[in-house]
Amino acid sequence: MSRLKATLFLVILICTTRTALAGDQLMDEAEQNALRIAKAWGIGSPRFVETDGKSIIATGGVDGIVSVGREFIAQIHARNDDTRRSAVTFVMLHELRHLEQANRLKEEFEDMAKRPLLECEADIQASRAIVLDLLLKIPDFSQKEHLAAASRSLEVFHDTWPGLVELLPASGMGQEHLTKRQRVLALQFGLWRAFGDRLVDEQDEKFRAVADRIFAQAGAQADLPVNDWGREVCERVVGEETQALAKIYFSIEPGDLEEDNTQTFRLSAKNNSYRDIMVSVTFLEGHYPKGQETNIENYVFTDATTSRALVKGGKSEILEAKMKLPSAPEGSDIFIWSLPFLDQALLSAKFLGPKRPPPSCGDNLVEFNDELDGTFLDMARLAGMARNRFSDVVAANNNNFGFESSVVESSLKVRGAMRTEIFITGDTAATVTFYDGPDEFKALSVFANQASQIKKRCTEPFAGIREWIGKDDQLPNLDIKRFTPYARASLVISKQTDDEEPEKPPEYWVYWVFHYNSP
């Protein structure tokens, strides 16, 4: 087929499918409504195209295509056309948001690991947009009839949630999407944010006070742009940055219960890493119909509050939040999500600042102006070669008379040591020997001196110094997890006997051994 014929074929296809899609009045109304609402996102001129199948998929950037399967609308179970129209509008907004993401986020949009986060963001922004559009049609919130109309419109949107939760996939095209719980939370936070955005512009102070309260429920900060707000909330909803979160140890602190039934929740967050971490926790409460604890789409969320804390490396901080305890309507049970150990917890944690090598002894060895200063500085230099498996310090003039040896001399000498060697084995290591002989007392003295001196000089808490007595030989050992950022070190005293001459006195070897240690 020529390029001209192919182009004409594509134009005819688009025109006919567009006409077919517009032929369904409800679909056409939802499409136009979604395009109108999405203009605030900087959407260009996307097209809706009817295709075979049941799915709805967005491809391309801001001027991309949303392919809508002919059987798509038949999957939406709703009690009336208003609910169905609202559900279709939401799904179309969700897909249009993906077009906006593809343009704004580019490489991140193609990252499969980010798919749940992007799906949550599309849901939360679609929910906010559709609710805000309804609220902006209310000219005066002080008029009861206007509030009643708004309430009816919001009920229609809320009625779509069970159908949306069942309809929208947990995975698609080989990628993880959202669980039912995550999708309902995205819908709820989007709804709260829309109310805050609408009421904050009201002239009446009482409405602005309500807006402040709703912003707190939505986890919104005054200086945080709406896109960044959506990202932050979704990080808690889907549990982003699991590596940072794994470094936080939570414990429950005593909280106060006031006379008006306001509960103070307190969590202690300890940072077990050397990097600073920003921790966020959202506390949620509400109620659900009795016997329907697993039906998240029927939950009613009555309040939420978010607490944030910057937790320095190795330190602890308290995250605190206050909420009035919920009351259960007849036929309902209450829920309070406040424990970070449960699946319902809304947590996020982020490492702050650029990634850097972990702190170690070698970063800041304390000097005492004695002969051992040079010894430990030389050992730090030698341990610093562990990243390249000590290949830089294997002596070039090492002569083994034509035979390969697993022990070679190091070109970097350690002052005060008897010898410095590289053991070329499966796990290449460097050793620095300070005593090698039959005198047990001297061996123990050398070990004790080395151990006490390194403990005085290495003041870094993350270095991880550990001492113990060996079970078999009853000799002391000392281990340092981070002698340098990429090397662990052990101070060892080894007792060696001759099996062929058991009456011969044992030999003692006191040495440091350095191995590569991944950061």
DSSP state of 174: T
Q: Which two tokens stand for residue 462?
A: 């993350």
Task: Decide if 214 contacts 196 (C-beta within 8 A).
Answer: yes
Summarised one tens digit per residue, pLDDT across range 73-84 is 788 777 788 888
Residue 22 has pLDDT above 70, yes or no: no
318 forms bridges with which residues in the sheet? 268
Find the mean pLDDT for residues 333-351.
86
Amino acid symbol at 86 = S
Q: How many CB atoms lie within 10 A of CB 366?
A: 11
Task: Decide if 435 contacts 442 (C-beta within 8 A).
Answer: yes
Least trusted range by pLDDT, from 10-19, 104-113, 354-363, 370-379: 10-19
Find the mean pLDDT for residues 316-340.
90
Burial of 299 (0-12, 13-18, 19+ CB in 10 A): buried
DSSP state of 257: B
What is the helix, strand, coil percentage profile of the chain, to 5?
40, 25, 30
- 253 vs 473, higher pLDDT: 253
Q: 482: which residues sit within 8 A by CB, 6+ positions away? A: 358, 359, 360, 361, 460, 462, 463, 464, 488, 517
Residue 154 has pLDDT above 50, yes or no: yes
d(CA 519, CA 516): 9
460 forms bridges with which residues in the sheet? none
**What residue segments make up the domains of the chain, in order of their start?**
21-239, 247-356, 361-396+404-516
DSSP state of 298: G
Query: What average pLDDT does the chain have?
Result: 84
Least trusted range by pLDDT, from 94-103, 161-170, 195-204, 367-376: 161-170
Distance set, CA 81 to CA 35, 87, 187 (Å): 19, 10, 21
Distance set, CA 435 to CA 416, 429, 495, 507, 512 (Å): 11, 18, 12, 10, 11
Summarised one tens digit per residue, pLDDT across range 365-411 is 888 888 888 999 999 999 999 988 898 888 655 544 444 568 888 99
Q: Which two tokens stand for residue 231?
A: 């990202």
pLDDT for the residue 395: 65
Helix residue ranges, H only, 69-179: 81-104, 115-136, 144-159, 161-167
Residue 15 has pLDDT above 70, yes or no: no
pLDDT for the residue 12: 29
pLDDT for the residue 425: 75
- 174 vs 93, higher pLDDT: 93
The closest of 87, 57, 74, 237 to 162, measured between CA atoms, is: 87
DSSP string, 361-402: GGGSPPP-SSHHHHHHHHHHHHHGGGGGTTGGGB-TT---TT
Summarised one tens digit per residue, pLDDT across range 239-256 is 776 789 899 999 988 888
pLDDT for the residue 97: 92
Burial of 316 (0-12, 13-18, 19+ CB in 10 A): middle
d(CA 205, CA 278): 34
Query: In this structure, which topology does domain 247-356 adopt according to CATH?
Result: Immunoglobulin-like (2.60.40)
Three-state DSSP class for residue 274: coil
Task: Decide if 90 contacts 164 (C-beta within 8 A).
Answer: yes
Q: Which two tokens stand for residue 466?
A: 């550990």
Q: Which two tokens stand for residue 65?
A: 């295509």
Residue 21 has pLDDT above 60, yes or no: no
Kind and range of the H or E run holding 346? strand 346-351
Q: How many CB atoms lie within 10 A of CB 54?
A: 13
Three-state DSSP class for residue 144: helix
Task: Decide if 95 contacts 66 (C-beta within 8 A).
Answer: yes
The closest of 302, 284, 288 to 332, measured between CA atoms, is: 288
Length of the chain: 519
Angle between helices 226-238 and 115-136 (to 10 degrees): 130
Find the mean pLDDT for residues 458-478.
86
pLDDT for the residue 460: 81
The closest of 446, 447, 280 to 350, measured between CA atoms, is: 280
d(CA 321, CA 221): 15
pLDDT for the residue 9: 30
The closest of 179, 218, 178, 183 to 198, measured between CA atoms, is: 218
Find the mean pLDDT for residues 194-217.
86
Q: 184: which residues sit within 8 A by CB, 6+ positions away? A: 161, 165, 296, 297, 299
C-alpha 179: how far from chain center: 17
Summarised one tens digit per residue, pLDDT across range 404-449 is 568 888 999 999 999 999 998 778 899 999 999 999 999 999 999 9
